């Protein structure tokens, strides 16, 4: 029998510590929509999404009510569009048509984001991949709910530097196309290395070709719950601290597992994975930075930050894998600057710089996330930042990503307000030395020696 204390504990987590299920993401394969005529293709895509996901939002809301736990986002991921549109799209403008169709379908079913406007080019780009990438600025400017991602490298293939170079320019152009909205297009565009096929979190979600027709993936959350739990063991040794984080992660993940199974049952769609990531929001008390500070740092960015984060990330995984048999996606602590009040404060106080964030990405998911930089940052510098992150991912056999926003017309010292879950971001300084000649080299960085395991 469940005791009253256990009930009170759970409800306290939900009411006061921001425990929620961050997203139910329905992966939908669009491979069977492929057609050589762009209009037929768009029609097929619209029909497939609106038919398969018509009950997603309603079901999510019902589950939230039945269990009394908020499910913040209901989202969709689709097969990378570069593959789906390869046959029909002869130009970037053709791809934009697909983006607009996806946006319409997302609006119709009521999801707030749809991911998968993507190209996987870790070793090279096809003509279709290139056209899709070139269409991203216009596609993101013309749509509200579409998220784009490009995978430019992997441990197995190395890094496609031609794609990295191109992405620097595409990010700049995306910023310019959405200049009147503080370059918000870039907040929906992520460049990945070792991108997982089953990630439920935006902006990097897509439904990989290794997946079935449809799948339900769930992303849990709960930085506030972890922080409150470790407040009770302040000053105690690492064993106690780790044990506390593990137990809390177990509880959080169990909620996600329950919601995922229930969603799978009610929608008649197989359950895929739970993503264990600790995902912060701009809400007070829902911050990964605050956990690190509770662990013992005066401010995130202080020496010891990387070690504390590594430990946190590892304990979250250890607790989480016990709670669910299928764990996947990104599964780690997210450190998006604009979406985490503690990170914003640390940047504003001058305690956290891009270089320290880069070090932190070596030990957690996912990468340099939601970082605003000055609008005059050269494209080659952005490519350099992407290459650095991709190298960390490639060598460490982990997912890394860059979601950087060169905000048009803004300079270091100013800040930018995106609103909602995307939060607000101070403009961060970037190293001014040029990497133009490095980035201009053509071709690929070869796969690292430890990728040859056969």
What residue ranges bind other proteins (CB under 8 A)?
1-2, 4, 6-11, 62, 65-69, 251, 254-255, 257-258, 322
Closest approach, Cβ 252 to other proteins, in A, equals 9
**Closer by beta carbon to other proteins, 46 or else 250:** 250
Tokens of 322: 């016990």
**Closer by beta carbon to other proteins, 323 or else 428:** 323
DSSP-derived 3-state class of residue 141: helix
Kindly tell me the sign of the dihedral angle through the C-alpha atoms of 8, 13, 16, 22: negative
**Closer by beta carbon to other proteins, 155 or else 264:** 264
Say how far apart CA 45 and CA 39 lie, in whole Å.
10
**Closer by beta carbon to other proteins, 21 or else 128:** 21
Closest approach, Cβ 27 to other proteins, in A, equals 24
Closest approach, Cβ 215 to other proteins, in A, equals 21
Closest approach, Cβ 188 to other proteins, in A, equals 32
Give the H or E element holding residue 280: none
**Closer by beta carbon to other proteins, 60 or else 423:** 60
**Closer by beta carbon to other proteins, 130 or else 254:** 254
Closest approach, Cβ 67 to other proteins, in A, equals 4
Length of the chain: 454
The DSSP secondary structure of 222-252, one letter per residue, reads -HHHHHHHHHTTTT--HHHHHHHHHHHHHHH
Give the H or E element holding residue 75: strand 71-78
Say how far apart CA 149 and CA 195 lie, in whole Å.
9
**Cα 336 versus chain centre, distance:** 9
Closest approach, Cβ 58 to other proteins, in A, equals 11
Say how far apart CA 244 and CA 251 lie, in whole Å.
11
Residue in the structure block whose two tokens are 């605003």: 372
């Amino acid at each position: 029998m469940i005791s009253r204390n256990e009930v009170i504990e759970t409800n306290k987590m939900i009411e006061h510590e921001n425990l929620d299920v961050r997203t139910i993401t329905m992966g939908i394969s669009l491979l069977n929509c492929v057609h050589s005529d762009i209009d037929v293709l768009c029609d097929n895509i619209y029909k497939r999404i609106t038919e398969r996901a018509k009950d997603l939002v309603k079901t999510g809301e019902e589950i939230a009510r039945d269990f009394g736990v908020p499910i913040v986002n209901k989202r969709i991921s689709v097969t990378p569009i570069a593959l789906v549109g390869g046959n029909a799209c002869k130009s970037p403008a053709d791809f934009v048509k697909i983006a607009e169709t996806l946006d319409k379908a997302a609006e119709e079913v009521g999801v707030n984001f749809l991911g998968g406007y993507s190209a996987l080019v870790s070793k090279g780009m096809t003509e279709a991949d290139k056209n899709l990438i070139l269409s991203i600025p216009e596609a993101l400017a013309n749509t509200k709910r579409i998220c784009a991602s490009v995978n430019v490298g992997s441990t197995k293939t190395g890094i496609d530097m031609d794609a990295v170079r191109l992405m620097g320019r595409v990010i700049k152009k995306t910023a310019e196309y959405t200049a009147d909205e503080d370059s918000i297009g870039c907040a929906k565009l992520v460049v990945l290395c070792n991108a997982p096929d089953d990630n439920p979190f935006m902006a990097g979600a897509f439904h990989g070709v290794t997946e079935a027709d449809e799948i339900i993936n769930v992303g849990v959350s709960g930085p506030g719950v972890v922080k409150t739990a470790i407040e009770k063991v302040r000053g105690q040794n690492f064993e106690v601290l780790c044990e506390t984080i593990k137990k809390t992660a177990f509880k959080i993940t169990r909620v996600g597992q329950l919601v995922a199974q229930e969603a799978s049952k009610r929608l008649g769609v197989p359950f895929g994975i739970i993503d264990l990531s600790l995902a912060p929001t701009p809400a007070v008390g829902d911050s990964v930075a605050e956990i690190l500070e509770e662990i013992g740092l005066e401010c995130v960015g202080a020496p010891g930050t990387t070690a504390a984060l590594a430990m946190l990330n590892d304990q979250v995984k250890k607790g989480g894998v016990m709670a669910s048999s299928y764990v996947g996606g990104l599964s780690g602590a997210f450190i998006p600057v604009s979406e985490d009040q503690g990170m914003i404060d640390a940047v504003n106080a001058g305690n956290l710089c891009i270089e320290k964030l880069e070090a932190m990405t070596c030990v957690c998911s996912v990468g340099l996330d939601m970082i605003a930089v000055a609008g005059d940052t050269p494209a080659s510098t952005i490519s350099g930042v992407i290459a650095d992150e991709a190298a960390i991912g490639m060598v460490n056999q982990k997912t890394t990503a860059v979601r950087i926003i060169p905000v048009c017309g803004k300079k270091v010292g100013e800040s930018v307000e995106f609103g909602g879950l995307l939060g607000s971001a101070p403009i961060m300084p970037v190293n001014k030395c040029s990497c133009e000649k490095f980035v201009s080299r053509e071709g690929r960085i070869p796969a690292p020696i430890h990728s040859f395991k056969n």
